[in-house]
Chain A
């Protein structure tokens, strides 16, 4: 069995989805949380000067979604065939689209503009994506986004709503299937424990 080491900052950000994949698959890995002051020295040894980086028996992989997809395939969390793998990818990209909107608000320095962006987020953007995901769950029988078991798609959507929910805990209240999926994931062995006990980070 290969040895895995995931290097990222000590927060959720773009590293958490890969961590969730390991936990959902109940696979061991070194959860290498890099402190900000140590990052500059490490940077040169990464493929593209960024994290997360996955080290698999000495070979390195960069780019957060690449890492998550790779692990999902290795651990049978990427659907049962190529088409289901593509469906997982679809949802991952949809989450990415939502994340890009959300990031705009997070990084906006101008207070007036920030208020405008946040208003748009809560009135237009989040309802749009919540609606899309809820509908997708319904269309697939209600429990999972792809096929009939947990996949990277479900973990990606779970992870994508972590920070928005921290800011607005009621945001999923009118989306019962999404809300139930979250509870289902939180009740699974290993990943459930991890989610319950992980330290809170802003992002």
Chain B
């Protein structure tokens, strides 16, 4: 019997979208529960650590976006074909998360002067560094995927990490052909492609 998945997060991409991507990529049914305001406050006490996302698997709850994404990757055959490939996927997830953390810093910076500085650093140093690392990693692995010869959570994690930067700067990937091609490939997948095309836009 296939387990029943309920995924709880805000009505945004943020730290939840990667998990949704994994489920859609493998055309797996799940309850995509989006909570905010009072509904979230009422749900909060029943979460493991007072946060979302939370994945409910037949009544057992898992917290922490990375833990959930890795669990789904294993369950949905998106974690490479052996322990080493699973670690290789992890690597890229962590790298994507490092970049995401820098983006979050810039998004939440309230001080206007500091924000300008942080944004400049993001555009001149941080993003170019990660773009180069990801592009060269793809090249080293034959050009199509980060790990092995099929889609993994690594590819989806990098895709997800560039969602918001690309909104701000749609030409961001223009000098990174392998990354750009991979995005197009992911957007061409059934179900996941539909989901990406039809989801409502959110700032984050």
CB contact between A69 and one of B68, B75, B87 (< 8 Å): that residue: B87
Task: State A120–B83 Cα separation when bound (angstroms).
Answer: 40
Pick from B71, B83, B101: contact of A74, CB below 8 A: B83
- Interface window among B4-12, B25-33, B90-98, B190-198: B90-98
User: Contact between B67 and A62 (Cβ–Cβ < 8 Å)?
Assistant: no
A118 on the interface (CB 8 Å rule)? no
Any B CB within 8 A of the CB of A83: yes
Q: How far is the CA of A82 from the CA of B94 in the complex (A)?
A: 19
A59 and B84 within 8 A (CB): yes
Task: Say if the beta carbon of A143 comes within 8 Å of chain B.
Answer: no
A94 at the interface (CB under 8 A from B): yes
Closest Cβ neighbor of A139 among chain B residues: B48
Does A63 lie within 8 Å of B57, measured CB to CB?
no
Size band of the interface chain A makes with B: 20 to 34
Indicate the size class of the contact surface on chain B.
20 to 34
Contact A87 B62 (CB under 8 A): yes
A70 with B67, Cβ < 8 A, contacts A63-B94, A82-B74 known: no
Residue interface bits A65-103, CB-to-B below 8 A is 1, else 0: 111011001100000001101110110111000001000
Q: Give, as a whole number of angstroms, the nearest-CB distance from A39 to chain B.
A: 18
Which residues from chain A contact B68 at a C-beta distance below 8 Å?
A: 86
Query: For the complex, is A141 an interface residue (Cβ under 8 Å from B)?
Result: no
B86 shortest CB reach to chain A, Å = 7
| CA of A126 to CA of B134, assembled, Å | 35
- Tell me if B66 and A89 are in contact (CB < 8 A): yes
Q: Residue of A at shortest CB range from B72?
A: A86
B88 in the interface, Cβ–Cβ < 8 Å?
Answer: yes
Scoring B60, B94, B101 by chain A CB atoms within 10 A of each residue's CB, the highest score goes to B94
Which residues of B lie under 8 Å from residue A106 when comparing CB positions? none
Return chain A residues, CB-CB under 8 Å to B60: 83
B43 at the interface (CB under 8 A from A): no
Residues in A whose Cβ lies below 8 Å from that of B87? 61, 66-67, 69-70
The answer, yes or no, to whether B107 is at the interface (CB within 8 Å) is no
Q: Is A175 an interface residue (CB 8 A)?
A: no
Q: Are B49 and A86 in contact (CB under 8 A)?
A: no
5 contacts between A and B (CB under 8 A): A47-B91, A66-B87, A70-B90, A83-B62, A132-B49
Name the 5 nearest CB pairs between A and B, nearest first.
A89-B67, A86-B71, A66-B90, A70-B87, A93-B64
Excluding A83-B60, A86-B68, A87-B62, 16 further A-B contacts by CB distance (< 8 Å) are A48-B91, A56-B84, A65-B90, A67-B87, A69-B87, A74-B83, A82-B75, A83-B57, A83-B71, A86-B70, A86-B71, A89-B64, A89-B67, A90-B63, A92-B67, A132-B49
